[in-house]
Amino acid sequence: MSYLDDILKSRRDTRHFTTDEVPDEVMENALRAGHWAPSVGLTDATRYYIIKATEVKKAIKDLFLDYNKKAEALTDNPEQKEHYKSLKLEAIEEAPIGLIIAYDRSVLNQFTIGTVGSNEAVKFSSVCAAQNIWLSLTEQGYGMGWVSILNYYQFKKILDLPENIEPLGYFCIGKPATNYDNQPMLQQLNWKQKSETPECTEIKNVVENSVLESSKISTSVKINDDFSKLLQEKIDSKTKPIGALGTLEDLAFQMGTVFETLEPKITNPNIVVFAADHGIANHGVSAYPQDVTRQMVANFLEGGAAINVFCKQHNIQLSIVDAGVNYDFPTNANLINAKIAKGTQSFLHLPAMREMEVELCFEKGKEIVENIVKSGSNCIGFGEMGIGNTSTASVLMSLLTGFPIEECVGKGTGVEDEKLIQKQNLLKKAIENYSGQAELKQQLAYFGGFEIIQMAGGMLAAFENKMLILVDGFICSVAYLIAFKMNPNIKKNAIFCHCSAEQAHQKLLDYLEAKPILNLDLRLGEGTGCAIALPLLKSAEAFLNEMASFESAGISKK
């Protein structure tokens, strides 16, 4: 084994340090090694911040402990919980030096060779720098620990890092006080064992048809004119004046048409809540910090949210999807794992996602719905959770409808007055910065959200499977708008459950020529509008299937 192999194998995440000082020369060598790391397009985007002050270290330690407590609570395995508690990171205050390794995303404001395919390459360059620093420190007899269990929004805030600087994490540097015998600490504590060899698979074939392209194929549904006539006659023959049940009659006709039967019946209704984080949230567009996305998903899983209450009330199956939350949930959580990444990038400076991730979102959404179809469900509601997603939805609405962004922006989670104007200006600037193509796929990649696109893919799949599609509020209506642009026939299956308090929602509903069932000033999301509206659908089903006709009741018609 070579000397380099020895260094590579001994490079471990150091958790405890001695009180020995780190000579300036050691840090200079390490940072020089980081600077020598590969840098995409010679962007030199990696930035370093040294921390020695006790006060600053304590603030970071407090931030870590707060987040660490939440992470510990998310495992139900007592043994694993005890292992987790043993991972206390005294190193933040103990290590002589703290180092923040970050990247400057403002370099992407200029054309850079190497970032055309993926803007994340700038971030990857900084990871290469972190690796080089780690290796250099190891070779010099020092160690480094990577702390990533942090609320990054608060992390940047307490350190007053510039908006364009994105930290990889906080790194502790000093003389190692522990020897793990070439074994990672997590492995030594039996948390998880590292595989013996790397996993490598050779790819030999090319998949020619993309999910997005195949989804564009419009599938028409032709209901026989005779059937439509019979269905309408059945509705009109009930013991009531024609049209007296108003919207319920429209819903009954729509249900019969979608299910292609004169006796439609909703079976195993399911509401699916898609959750994801958005890079744009880091710019203060929401009244809540980004971590609330993760907290609310935990609330869904514990049964404490509004959607849990309403689904339980009306006997609706509830499914929660991690489409891209900035958190790793326990593997035993009752959660559908469709994570694309830990949140999108901020579209103020660079594309929110790669086109490949857009494709994957459509694929994941389709897969989730098709699995629900297998359970015997023919009615699916779509809900969402994601701090910052009203901003994403507003921009997509503006681009896909042509409305000015000012008419597409609302309060979201409760942004008021001056902050609302700032939100409008920020999103206007983001659109002005966009110089990409005016094609749906490119627009979705630049401004989209993982949960929004997965919902659009799920709606297209629901249409293909002849399901009733329940659309919740503003964000879900934007997901529907995407699906509608790809296949206008989806309108036959869609039921818009309510008009929300978001000012842009009514404008979007008018654009879609959609008539919502309810108007309750809701702006919660989560699919709550779908759950509240479902009893009305059941009423439409009941009158069509159980109400007497003039003939059966022996009552004379007008």
Which CATH number goes with the domain that contains 129? 3.40.109.10
Does a structural domain hold residue 234? no
Does a structural domain hold residue 313? yes
SS3 of residue 276 by DSSP: strand
| pLDDT value for 452 | 98
pTM: 0.66
| pLDDT value for 218 | 43
Does a structural domain hold residue 30? yes
Whether residues 412 and 530 fall in one domain: yes
Tell me the CA end-to-end span of the chain in Å, nearest whole number: 97
Whether residues 412 and 528 fall in one domain: yes
Residue 389 contacts residue 264 (beta carbons within 8 Å): no
* CATH number of domain containing 297: 3.40.50.10210
Does a structural domain hold residue 558? no
| pLDDT value for 217 | 43
Whether residues 154 and 278 fall in one domain: no
Whether residues 397 and 324 fall in one domain: yes
CA distances from 124 to 38, 46, 83, 113, 139 (A): 9, 10, 30, 15, 23
Does a structural domain hold residue 229? no
Residue 521 to residue 422: CA distance in whole angstroms = 24
Residue 322 contacts residue 297 (beta carbons within 8 Å): yes
Whether residues 260 and 180 fall in one domain: no
Does a structural domain hold residue 223? no
Whether residues 174 and 257 fall in one domain: no
| pLDDT value for 433 | 87
Please count the structural domains in the chain. 2
The answer to whether the Cα torsion of 16, 20, 21, 23 is positive or negative is: negative
- Last residue in a domain, options 189, 204, 227: 189
Does a structural domain hold residue 370? yes
Residue with tokens 């660490």: 68
| pLDDT value for 43 | 74
| pLDDT value for 294 | 93
Does a structural domain hold residue 550? no
| pLDDT value for 1 | 45
Residue with tokens 């020529």: 513
Task: Write down the catalytic residue from 249, 359, 526, 541.
Answer: 526
Whether residues 122 and 262 fall in one domain: no
Quick check: is 513 catalytic?
no
Residue 557 to residue 551: CA distance in whole angstroms = 9
Whether residues 279 and 398 fall in one domain: yes
Residue 520 sits in which domain range?
A: 245-544
Under-70 pLDDT residues of the chain: 1-2, 11-12, 70-77, 79-90, 108-119, 178-196, 207-223, 411-417, 553, 556, 558
Q: Helix H segments across 73-184?
A: 78-85, 91-94, 121-139, 152-159
Whether residues 249 and 185 fall in one domain: no
- Give the model confidence (pLDDT) of 163-219 as tens digits: 778 899 899 999 988 665 555 555 555 545 656 677 777 777 776 655 555 544 444
Residue 415 to residue 280: CA distance in whole angstroms = 14
Whether residues 256 and 125 fall in one domain: no
